[in-house]
A and B are shown apart, each in its own frame.
Chain A
Amino acid sequence: MSGGDEIIHQAVRLRIMAALNVLHVEDAVEFTRLRDLIKATDGNLGAHLETLEKAGYIAIEKRFEGKRPQSRIKATPAGRRAFAEHVAYLREILDSSGQKVTPPR
């Protein structure tokens, strides 16, 4: 059994990676939409995005939409791999304990 990923396992970061993992590899999501999706505050989300970016799990692209600055976030291939491995690790724990849960697709 491979070990879990301590960076990803934190609840907010787990939700961030779960949401980004649904998008296509080339797709990014805007900061405010991601905030609404994972039900976090601006400050909280910002701090966790920084952690994930430092780990190389996400990429943040800053651009201007008209005059408004906009941050767009997407999962990197390394981030997707790490997330998949962490989900597999969580499932292994459940399988070995005999518990059941709705499996994420």
Chain B
Amino acid sequence: MTIDPDSAAASLQDIADTERRARESLFYSVSSSILILWGVLVASVQTLIFFLPPFSRSSGIFIASWCVFYAVGMGGSYAILRARYRPRALSPMARRLMGAMVILIAYGVLWTALLELPAGKWLSVFWPTLFMFGFVLAGLWVGRFFVACGLIVTALVVAGYLWLGPWYPLWLAVVQGGALIVSGLWMRRIGVSR
């Protein structure tokens, strides 16, 4: 068969475009389980906080439960990535995803430790908004859905913080946990399954 250079160039461009879409789709599929995991964790912890007596919210048990939350979230995310990519090494995209999560959490831990404010309400708005800004940043690569979702949830979190008083943890469980779960389900719908 004979192919002229213009046709060869068009075919290679078509291949590059298709491969890019396929890689994005794979990334969506892997990320969906991770988002659902974090959504369930956020909803569970915030619901638990809502039912805890207010005085216990700065106790050692309370702080320990947040440590467990991040350990389960990070450990679970890594386990999901390993299971999805086995027996291959993690893809560069998956490694960047884990790296971004570690950096985001490290940033939050650093400022939580450096700002010597009394633990409590400001932390309950700082962490959710930090997470949602991570969502907005990821959206610049992953898609506009995440930018919009990150901004809307941030606005709802701040509104709840300002006006909902004691109902705020439950609001976070629904709004932030729900947003992560819905995003995960949306990504699962459009991702390539194994």
**Which residues of A are at the interface with B, using a C-beta cutoff of 8 A?**
3-4, 6, 9, 11, 14-15, 18-19, 21-24, 27-30, 33, 36-38, 87, 89-91, 93-94, 97, 99, 101-105
Tell me how many residue pairs across A and B have CB atoms closer than 8 Å.
89
> Nearest Cβ distance between residue B24 and chain A, in whole angstroms?
9
- The answer, among A15, A23, A37, A101, for a CB contact under 8 Å with B12, is A101
Docked pose: A19 CA to B194 CA in angstroms: 13
B25 to A37, Cβ gap below 8 A?
yes
In the complex, which residues of chain B have a beta carbon less than 8 angstroms from the beta carbon of A102?
Answer: 12-13, 16
A9 and B11 contact, Cβ closer than 8 Å, known pairs A29-B192, A30-B193, A90-B3: yes
Docked pose: A38 CA to B19 CA in angstroms: 10
Within 8 A of A (CB), among B63-99: 88
B12 to A103, Cβ gap below 8 A?
yes
Docked pose: A90 CA to B15 CA in angstroms: 11
A18 and B14 contact, Cβ closer than 8 Å, known pairs A30-B193, A37-B21, A37-B25: yes
> Nearest Cβ distance between residue A18 and chain B, in whole angstroms?
4
Could you list 19 further interchain pairs (A-B, Cβ under 8 angstroms) beyond the known A87-B12, A94-B8? A3-B1, A4-B1, A14-B15, A18-B19, A19-B19, A23-B192, A24-B88, A29-B192, A33-B191, A37-B22, A37-B25, A90-B12, A91-B12, A97-B8, A99-B9, A101-B9, A102-B12, A103-B16, A104-B19
A27 to B194, Cβ gap below 8 A?
yes
